[in-house]
Amino acid sequence: MAAVHGDAHGHEHDDHHPSGIMRWITTTNHKDIGTMYLWFSFAMFMVGGTLAMGIRAELYQPGIQILEPELFNQFTTLHGLIMVFGAIMPAFVGFANWQVPMMIGAPDMAFARMNNWSFWLLPVAATLLVGSFFVPGGAAAGGWTFYPPLSTQGGLGVDLMIFSVHILGASSIMGSINIITTILNMRAPGMTLMKMPMFVWTWLITAYLLVLVMPVLAGVVTMLLTDRHFGTSFFNAAGGGDPVMFQHIFWFFGHPEVYIMILPSFGIVSEVIPTFSRKPLFGYSSMVYATASIAILSCVVWAHHMFTAGMPTVGQLFFMYATMLIAVPTAVKVFNWTATMWRGSMSFETPMLFSIGFIFLFVIGGFSGVICAIVPIDIQVQDTYYVIAHFHYVLVSGSLFALFAGAYYWIPKWTGRMYNETLGKWHFWLSMFFFNLTFFVQHFLGLAGMPRRIPDYNLQFADFNMISSLGAFGFGLTQLLFLYIMISCIRSGDKAPQKPWDGATTLEWTHLPTPAPYHSFEKPPIVK
């Protein structure tokens, strides 16, 4: 037991890595790469957030004020792409880089050099994506799902987007291959699969989903590219293709992608809640099985995104029932988290607040999802703000809140310093208030029929849009507070003890000093 603490010293000989910028460019250390992933995704979060501010500023009042319709369409498209592929997904990979090796007692990721490569592809892809605003014709403007024929007709911006998606896909695939191999091959002795922390389990399943569907996305954007430039007609009706087929292939990727963005946050929440309830996770094995179940089911429900694209009743009913059945394993998880808190000696530090906020708001998003799954309702609310409200409840108060919870939870271990608890709580309550102010009213807008991706709207929608925009500005500003909390924690936070959370039980808290040494677990710990 005590021997593992010796890891922090005695390795000076291989510690003379380059300093300055070269350290970060050449690093193969999972902690460095994790840090870079997290900063990159935060930068992208800021870029995507700025686009969102632009969208909400335009929608503050009816009429066209700030953004021309073409630019507005570019904003909505790039907001979606950047948030999904640039912010949420890399942030989770960053968490995996930091936490997976420490949680399973491995010294590093399995393929350290590939890890470096998969990170450095991201800035390239991000440059292509953001740079496409400045090419003639502007960025892609056909929505983040880039349906043809709009995406086969767009200008250079669409090509840049296609390349960017290719690169991001390659990066994710390499990242997930690395994570799978690390989890399956590099565990410390005694760390059986069924002893792994929930976060590791959810990432293992997510990584499998990624290698399953990311290549399909790469395939479909390749078809788009050949349709645009090499005279094929996969999606061109005149040449015998079918634009609806694009939607089927895209959503075969797209629906599992939704779960790729939520499963790791289930994992983070499943670490945080037991810690602050000071009880083991209720129904650990059920949680593992439910995660696997969600992953499998997520592959047979894709067409619920396209109920209005034209489909026989048999198909509509099939996808409707299958979608509603996914609610079962998801509900199992929610009940397990609640049961974990039941009669625990709970305390409400910032990570716990974000986790409870996650459960509360994710359940709302889940329920509006079941409502959208019902075909007759979906035909009504398709492409309205109701759908926008639904998926922001799942992705912002789901994925993003869980990311915040994880950041506050692990930042003492990463930096050796505590964040400011008071400011953290402010961050939570302001986020909670402004998030609901922004998105709850969008349910009403959607039910009243306000279409998405339109820069102007009817006067009847004016009040709710103004409320929503005010909420969005507040939410955006609140995230600057998060940046401030993190920077002041890194620079001048109080020293953190080895285990600042007394309920924590995973290896990084029990077996490693704080801050985590640059090389940890070079001698594997013995897990009982």
Please indicate whether residue 201 is annotated as part of the active site.
Answer: no
Question: By CB under 8 A, which span of 78-86, 123-131, 320-328, 489-497 interacts with another protein?
Answer: 320-328
What dihedral angle (degrees, nearest 10) is formed by the CA atoms of 431, 433, 439, 445? -160
State the alpha helices, DSSP H only, in 14-88.
21-26, 30-58, 69-81
Q: Shortest CA distance to 378 belongs to which of 299, 305, 454?
A: 305
Residue 176 near residue 247 (C-beta atoms within 8 A): no
Near another protein by CB under 8 A: residue from 1, 3, 21, 194: 194
Question: Which residues in 444-503 contact another protein (CB under 8 A)?
Answer: none
Q: Shortest CA distance to 355 belongs to which of 399, 402, 393, 424?
A: 402
Smallest gap from Cβ 106 to another protein, in A, equals 10
User: CA 74: distance to chain centroid?
Assistant: 22
Residue 136 near residue 156 (C-beta atoms within 8 A): yes
Closer to another protein by Cβ: residue 324 or 481: 324
3-state secondary structure of 332: helix
Please indicate whether residue 270 is annotated as part of the active site.
Answer: yes
- Name the catalytic one among 41, 270, 293, 368: 270
Question: Which residues in 205-234 contact another protein (CB under 8 A)?
Answer: 211-220, 223, 231-234
Smallest gap from Cβ 297 to another protein, in A, equals 8
Question: By CB under 8 A, which span of 27-35, 66-74, 325-333, 411-419 interacts with another protein?
Answer: 325-333
Please indicate whether residue 132 is annotated as part of the active site.
Answer: no
Distance spanning both ends of the chain, measured CA to CA: 10
DSSP state of 522: S
Near another protein by CB under 8 A: residue from 31, 255, 333, 453: 333
110 binds another protein (CB under 8 A): yes
Rounded Cα–Cα distance for residues 378 and 356 (Å): 29
Residue 188 near residue 239 (C-beta atoms within 8 A): no
Please indicate whether residue 108 is annotated as part of the active site.
Answer: yes
Near another protein by CB under 8 A: residue from 63, 127, 189, 321: 321
Smallest gap from Cβ 362 to another protein, in A, equals 16
Please indicate whether residue 15 is annotated as part of the active site.
Answer: no
Residue 417 bridge partners (DSSP)? 495
3 binds another protein (CB under 8 A): no
Residue 446 near residue 468 (C-beta atoms within 8 A): no
State the alpha helices, DSSP H only, in 448-522.
462-492, 507-510
Rounded Cα–Cα distance for residues 255 and 212 (Å): 12
CA atoms within 13 A on the CB side of 200: 26
Quote the tokens at residue 150: 């709009």
Q: Which residues of 335-344 are buried (b: 16+ CB within 10 A; e: fewer)?
A: ebbebbbeeb
Closer to another protein by Cβ: residue 295 or 432: 295
Q: Shortest CA distance to 508 belongs to which of 200, 170, 215, 172?
A: 200
Smallest gap from Cβ 39 to another protein, in A, equals 27
Q: Which residues of 436-448 are buried (b: 16+ CB within 10 A; e: fewer)?
A: bbbbbbbbbbbee
- Name the catalytic one among 144, 251, 284, 302: 144
Q: Shortest CA distance to 307 belongs to which of 220, 257, 250, 376?
A: 376
297 binds another protein (CB under 8 A): yes
State the alpha helices, DSSP H only, in 278-400.
284-297, 313-341, 350-373, 375-381, 385-394
327 binds another protein (CB under 8 A): no
Question: By CB under 8 A, which span of 73-81, 197-205, 305-313, 465-473 interacts with another protein?
Answer: 305-313
Residue 255 near residue 298 (C-beta atoms within 8 A): yes
Question: By CB under 8 A, which span of 309-317, 345-353, 362-370, 385-393 interacts with another protein?
Answer: 309-317
Residue 58 near residue 72 (C-beta atoms within 8 A): yes
- Name the catalytic one among 56, 333, 390, 453: 333
Closer to another protein by Cβ: residue 111 or 473: 111
- Name the catalytic one among 41, 118, 164, 171: 171
Q: Shortest CA distance to 250 belongs to which of 174, 165, 127, 126?
A: 165
Smallest gap from Cβ 243 to another protein, in A, equals 11
Please indicate whether residue 505 is annotated as part of the active site.
Answer: no
Site string for another protein, 245-264 (x = CB under 8 A): x--xx--x------------
Smallest gap from Cβ 248 to another protein, in A, equals 6
Closer to another protein by Cβ: residue 185 or 492: 185
Please indicate whether residue 259 is annotated as part of the active site.
Answer: yes
Near another protein by CB under 8 A: residue from 2, 285, 459, 492: 285
329 binds another protein (CB under 8 A): yes
Smallest gap from Cβ 121 to another protein, in A, equals 15
Please indicate whether residue 144 is annotated as part of the active site.
Answer: yes
Q: How many residues bind another protein (CB under 8 A)?
A: 65
- Name the catalytic one among 58, 227, 257, 349: 257
289 binds another protein (CB under 8 A): yes
Q: What is the 3-state secondary structure (H, E, C) of 406-442?
A: HHHHHHHHHHCECCCHHHHHHHHHHHHHHHHHHHHHH
- Name the catalytic one among 304, 392, 427, 511: 304
Closer to another protein by Cβ: residue 217 or 437: 217
342 binds another protein (CB under 8 A): no
Near another protein by CB under 8 A: residue from 62, 137, 155, 283: 283
Please indicate whether residue 229 is annotated as part of the active site.
Answer: no
Q: Which residues bind another protein (CB under 8 A)?
A: 110-111, 173, 177, 180-181, 184-186, 192-194, 211-220, 223, 231-234, 237-240, 242, 244-245, 248-249, 252, 283-290, 292-294, 296-297, 299-300, 310, 312-314, 317-318, 321-322, 325, 328-329, 332-333
Query: Active-site residues: which are they?
Result: 79, 108, 144, 171-172, 255, 257, 259, 270, 304-305, 330, 333, 452
